[in-house]
């Protein structure tokens, strides 16, 4: 099997990076920055769209949740082919095309005349988000040394976590004053900056072998999903369902409980604080101590955070829920992302990245609609009680599929890294 010079260059870069274990580079920093801004816009519009649909068209909570979550459905639809074809299209091309579309769709929000049109814009914008974020994640996996994958992706997803605090904080600030236009103006400026900065990232390309090119039009499950990454991606999906309830409904919940001014506004800052402090430690633990040491505690913290939010009767209880959520959900997503890439062979990094995000997005996308329908009959606390139960289901799922088998023990993870490096070396010959 023959490879082109570009393919060999990528392989040699991967192997060389692992020899030096150098993590920080200009492209790595820029990729983190662009992805950070993409997610600021995403998270800001998730919360903004719920309140905007209610205020502008007086829709129900369930419909408002759909207006928020359909963005993620669009992202899911885009991610499935993006992971499959990114190396055929070119990582840089897909990155630039996705960020350009991401910018253009923001301009259409305020001109949507009715809820259906608004949802259509949200869906197409989700397609652009899925394309650009999948490209960014595939690029970072190629830039990070394999032996530092947990740490490298931990810092990468830390940007996502910080965005998940800053974006909703901005949205709540704008929505709280009824200034829906300002939110869109800010998002327009940010998406323009995203498109500009994406030009400065040198995306490591992987040229396609003749055998891979022959299967380009093949339609099968294995062509679009990495089987080895499915179990850990399902765990991430359950975490996404839990977090979606916070992302979509916290503003309305805090307002209904008279906690919007302090608890609702500063919730995401508390969330970001514990995520920021815990992420470097958990990334290091993942690389050195294995997956069980990280995932079991973080899933328990996720469940406790949901319960704390459900029974919050004061601002400080809601803020405690935010602190616990940052340490729980923030760690779950970072660890699952790194482990999904870890499970996949060298040539399936893009597909593994897509598999992880497809299931995570599925959880975030369906969560607001299904759990939001509990609100009229049982109130907001029931939503978060159900989310806590779902978190415990995630613990059981991880134990049954991965944990009890020692799949992510330090010894087995190190052996898997060595095999992947050997595969890279063979492909480079």
How far is 300 from 289, CA to CA, in rounded Å? 18
- What are the residue boundaries of the structural domains of the chain, listed by start? 19-205+221-427
Residue with tokens 């949740």: 65
Q: Of 321, 318, 307, nearest to 381 (Cα)?
A: 307
Tokens of 407: 């799949």
How far is 228 from 402, CA to CA, in rounded Å? 11
Direct distance between the N- and C-terminal alpha carbons of the chain, in angstroms, rounded to an integer? 9
Tokens of 360: 């995570």
Q: Of 180, 175, 186, nearest to 250 (Cα)?
A: 175
Are 254 and 318 a contacting pair, CB within 8 Å? yes
Tokens of 163: 């965005």
Are 387 and 306 a contacting pair, CB within 8 Å? yes
Phi, psi of 9 (to 5 degrees): -65, -40
Are 245 and 371 a contacting pair, CB within 8 Å? yes
Are 147 and 413 a contacting pair, CB within 8 Å? no
Q: How many helices (H) and strands (E) does the chain have?
A: 17, 0
Tokens of 89: 């299209």
How far is 296 from 257, CA to CA, in rounded Å? 32
Instruction: Give the helix ranges, DSSP H, for 113-229.
Output: 115-143, 149-176, 180-198, 210-214, 221-224
How far is 209 from 187, CA to CA, in rounded Å? 40
Q: Of 77, 32, 83, 8, nearest to 344 (Cα)?
A: 83
Q: Give the max Cα distance, the chain.
A: 65
Residue length of the chain: 429
Q: Which residues contact 200 (CB under 8 A, 6 or more apart)?
A: 30
Per-residue model confidence as pLDDT tens for the chain (429 residues): 334 444 444 444 444 444 456 788 989 999 999 999 999 999 899 889 988 998 899 988 778 878 887 898 898 889 889 988 888 889 999 999 999 999 999 999 989 999 999 999 999 999 999 999 999 998 998 888 877 777 888 788 888 878 877 888 888 788 877 888 999 999 999 999 999 999 999 888 877 777 777 777 777 888 888 999 999 999 999 999 999 888 778 878 888 888 877 777 788 889 888 988 887 788 888 888 889 999 999 999 999 999 999 999 899 999 999 999 999 998 898 899 889 988 887 777 778 888 998 899 888 878 887 888 888 889 899 999 999 999 999 999 999 999 988 888 888 888 877 776 776 665 543
Helical packing angle, 349-372 and 315-343, nearest 10°: 150
Q: Of 305, 300, 297, nearest to 325 (Cα)?
A: 305
Q: 19-205+221-427: CATH homologous superfamily?
A: MFS general substrate transporter like domains (1.20.1250.20)
Q: Is 374 helix (H, G, I), strand (E, B) or coil?
A: coil
Q: Which residues contact 188 (CB under 8 A, 6 or more apart)?
A: 103, 106, 107
How far is 105 from 49, CA to CA, in rounded Å? 14
3-state helix vs strand vs coil in the chain, percent to 5: 85, 0, 15
- Other C-beta atoms closer than 10 Å to the C-beta of 115 total 17
pTM for the full predicted model? 0.77
How far is 131 from 102, CA to CA, in rounded Å? 9
């Amino acid at each position: 099997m023959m490879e082109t010079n570009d393919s060999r260059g990528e392989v040699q870069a991967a192997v060389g990076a692992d020899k030096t274990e150098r993590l920080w580079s200009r492209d790595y920093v820029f990729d983190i920055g662009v992805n950070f801004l993409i997610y600021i816009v995403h998270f800001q519009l998730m919360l903004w769209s719920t309140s905007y649909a209610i205020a502008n068209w007086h829709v129900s909570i369930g419909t408002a949740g759909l207006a928020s979550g359909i963005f993620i459905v669009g992202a899911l639809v885009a991610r499935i082919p993006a992971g499959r074809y990114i190396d055929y299209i070119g990582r840089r091309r897909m990155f630039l095309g996705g960020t350009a579309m991401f910018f253009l769709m923001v301009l259409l929000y305020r001109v949507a005349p009715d809820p259906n049109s608004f949802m259509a814009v949200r869906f197409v914008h989700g397609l652009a988000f899925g394309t650009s974020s999948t490209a960014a994640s595939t690029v970072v996996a190629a830039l990070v040394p394999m032996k530092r994958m947990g740490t490298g992706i931990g810092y990468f997803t830390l940007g996502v976590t910080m965005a998940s605090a800053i974006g909703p904080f901005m949205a709540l600030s704008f929505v709280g004053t009824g200034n829906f236009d300002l939110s869109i103006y800010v998002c327009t400026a940010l998406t323009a900056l995203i498109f500009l900065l994406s030009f400065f990232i040198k995306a490591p390309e992987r040229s396609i072998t003749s055998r891979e090119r022959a299967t380009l039009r093949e339609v099968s499950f294995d062509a679009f999903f990495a089987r080895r990454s499915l179990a850990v991606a399902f765990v991430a999906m359950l975490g996404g369902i839990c977090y979606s309830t916070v992302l979509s409904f916290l503003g309305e919940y805090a307002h209904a409980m008279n906690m919007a001014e302090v608890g609702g506004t500063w919730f995401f800052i508390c969330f970001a604080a514990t995520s920021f402090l815990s992420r470097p430690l958990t990334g290091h633990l993942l690389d050195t101590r294995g997956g069980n040491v990280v995932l079991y505690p973080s899933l328990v913290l996720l469940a406790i955070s949901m319960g704390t939010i459900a029974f919050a009767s004061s601002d400080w209880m809601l803020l405690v829920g935010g602190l616990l959520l940052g340490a729980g959900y923030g760690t779950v997503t970072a660890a699952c992302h790194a482990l999904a890439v870890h499970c996949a062979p060298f040539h399936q990094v893009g597909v593994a990245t897509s598999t992880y995000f497809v299931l995570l997005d599925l959880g975030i996308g369906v969560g607001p609609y299904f759990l939001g329908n509990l609100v009229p009959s049982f109130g907001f606390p029931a939503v978060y009680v159900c989310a806590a139960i779902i978190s415990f289901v995630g613990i059981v799922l991880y134990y049954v599929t991965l944990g009890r088998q020692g799949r992510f023990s330090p010894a087995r993870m190190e052996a898997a890294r060595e095999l992947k490096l050997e595969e890279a070396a063979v492909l480079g010959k």
